[in-house]
Each structure stands twice: as C-alpha cells, then as structure tokens.
Structure 1
C-alpha cells in the first residue's frame, strides 16, 4: 500500500499540472441509447448564461429550445507530457469555440447541485482549475477515469477504471430548461423522471 498511494498522488498531480497543448481534429458527439427517441441524437451547445453553454440534444424540443439546432463542433485537448495508457484512455479536456467575434475558447466543467444525484456538464470560457478531465477509449466512447473503488469498505485505490455514467435528462439551470447530457453521481439512475442511459461517441468530421 505504501507504493500505491504515492503513485496515485503523482498521477493526479500530473493531470492537475498538465498543460493540454495538443488539440485533436474536429468532431461531433453522437449518443447511442436503447431509447429510440435519444439514439442517434447529436449534442449541441445551448445557451445557459453569459458565455456558458450546456450540452443539449440537437433534435429534442424543450422549453428553452423548441426547434432542432445544428450539432456542435468539439475538440479534445491532451498533453504532450502524458504518455498514452495501454487501454487507450488518454486524459484530456473537451473544448469548444463559442461563436462570437472573436470566437471564445471554452472547456467543459461539471456543475454540482447538492440536492440532486447528477452533475450537469457545462462549457465555460477558458480553462480553469475546475475543468473536468475526461477520456476517450479505443471505441471513441467518452468516459471519466477513476482511481478509487467506492464499492468496497473501506474504499480501495490503485487501479484506473473507465466509467460511462452518461444520461439524457430534462434539466433546469439558471432559468433555462433543456434536455441535456448529464453525469450520474454514483451508479444509480438520475432521480429526474424520463432520463435515458446513453453512450457518447466521438465521430470525427
């Protein structure tokens, strides 16, 4: 155990201090789901505040988006200082350029509301301390990497696991109501009625 903890600390430190200086080619994000209304939907950037966007379903109507809109173009920034893991899950950040003059570079963060059991992914200008580290696996599926297994008592650490806890849910943030991509906190389904389990796939343009 004395060898495991320093290794984890160094790995987390590397991710925290990494400069994500390698930008990928442009791509779309497409959902796959057993729910036929969700399967095949693309993700768009929907206005949720001053230069803040959520990841809404392009073709799904909602109070704040009654009509379909175009799919967003994303990129994935990785670090030249981090070697590619054997499982292909290279850590990085999801980025987007907000249509403005000039365009505003943005990156993804998770917004947490302590009264519910999911996090809302939001695109904020720049790249800050709260920018969420993500990964794409060899099938181009978006995931979050975890170092701790919380299903044991006490929790155990040492192995990196890819988690795919994505859902499509009706959301409310800052007065805006969309059907958005959300991240379940834990392995239970989000409590909001009507949420659908999804996988998020990167398809290069």
Structure 2
C-alpha cells in the first residue's frame, strides 16, 4: 500500500501567475487574482496588475500533477492557490461551479481537492482542458486523444458577489456564451 500511495503523490510546480492574452488592450498582459467569494473561497478575478509587476500572494498559483509524470506539459493536474492569513495558510484547489441556467462555469477556489477540475498547460504555457467525450455525434463516444479546448472568457459573473472573473464556456467552442459581457481570452502560465 505504501508503494501505491507513493505513486499517487502530487508534485507541485514552482509559483506562477496566470496571464490574460486578449484583443482588448485593457485586459491583455494583466494577471488573474484570487478574489473573495466566501469564507476561504475565492474566484479568479480580472485585475489591473500587469505581468511585468512584481508577484503578490493573491496572483500566485501552483500546479500539481502526479509525481509519476516526467514534466507537467500536457499532463492533467490541479490548479492550487494558498490563501495567506494572519494566523494560518489555507491551500485550496480550483474547481468549476455550474448553474444549470447558464452555459458558463465559474472557476472557484476552495479548501481541499475533492472538487478539482483537472486542467493542463501546453508547451507554450496555455491553459486548456482536454475534451473526453464527444456528444456532438450519434452515438456519443470517447474523443481520444481529445482536443485541447481553451473556452476561456472574462465576464461579469455572480457567485456570491458580482465580479469580473474568468469563466469557462461549457460545450463546443463554436457556440458563444449567453452572458453578453463575455470577452474571449487566452490564459497563459508565466513563472514568477
């Protein structure tokens, strides 16, 4: 059992920031930051902090993958953030929050890892999710090796508060978000 547990341990990346690439010059080159959504719960908010600015705790993230992976390029893993408080630190994991009335999922960072949404980074640092099932055909089936989907948008969203946050457009990329505030972006990892 110890050997199995050792094979399932996670390796954490060096710290990095999530940088927005956008045709909107106000967003382009800015970094995402953790923003308060509840008790030790954060969203991924748009900020005015530039990638050229010094890193701060609210804009610093880590990526965890299985220790059996040789590197983390194109490897599924989980996005982590450490909430720093006066008395203790809380390690949290990003997972999607879905509302059945919307075609957007909101990335929410919360303690623990039970509700992680697995993501990947390509060789250029772009954040993506691999599709696993293709249900655009009859019959639906596995989509192997899967497409690298980058359905990322910056939108005005509501979870516990109204913020401008990163959002994921659920489903095929050719159908736009129903939220009229959404702007298409690319998210890239830049190490601190």
TM-score (norm 1): 0.80
**Distance in structure 1 (CA, Å) of the matches to 2:43 and 2:132:** 27
Equivalent residue runs for 1:1-205 within 5 Å = 19=8, 21-59=10-48, 72-82=59-69, 88-100=73-85, 101-128=87-114, 130-157=115-142, 158-174=144-160, 176-186=161-171, 187=173, 188-205=175-192
* Conservation of the 8 A alpha-carbon contact between 1:144 and 1:164: yes
**Distance in structure 1 (CA, Å) of the matches to 2:76 and 2:24:** 29
**Distance in structure 2 (CA, Å) of the matches to 1:163 and 1:84:** 20
**Distance in structure 2 (CA, Å) of the matches to 1:195 and 1:126:** 29
RMSD, aligned α-carbons: 1.9
Count of residues in Structure 1 that have an aligned counterpart in Structure 2: 175
Deviation at 1:19, TM superposition (A): 4.0
* Conservation of the 8 A alpha-carbon contact between 1:148 and 1:159: no
* Conservation of the 8 A alpha-carbon contact between 1:93 and 1:107: yes
Could you list the per-position Cα deviations for residues 36-81 of structure 1 after superposition, in whole angstroms to 9, with x for gaps in the alignment?
A: 2221121000000010000001129xxxxxxxxx651000001013
**Distance in structure 2 (CA, Å) of the matches to 1:20 and 1:140:** 23
Deviation at 1:20, TM superposition (A): 5.2
**Distance in structure 2 (CA, Å) of the matches to 1:171 and 1:20:** 35
**Distance in structure 2 (CA, Å) of the matches to 1:151 and 1:36:** 35
Cα 1:78–1:20 shift into 2, 3 Å: farther
**Distance in structure 2 (CA, Å) of the matches to 1:170 and 1:19:** 38
**Distance in structure 2 (CA, Å) of the matches to 1:76 and 1:103:** 17
Q: Which portions of structure 1, spanning 4 or more consecutive aligned residues, are displaced by more than 6 angstroms?
A: none
Unaligned runs of 5+ residues in structure 1 are 1-17, 61-69
Deviation at 1:160, TM superposition (A): 2.2
Cα 1:51–1:33 shift into 2, 3 Å: same
Partner of 1:110: helix, strand, or coil? strand
Could you list the per-position Cα deviations for residues 111-143 of structure 1 after superposition, in whole angstroms to 9, with x for gaps in the alignment?
A: 000011100000001111x21111000110001
**Distance in structure 2 (CA, Å) of the matches to 1:91 and 1:111:** 19
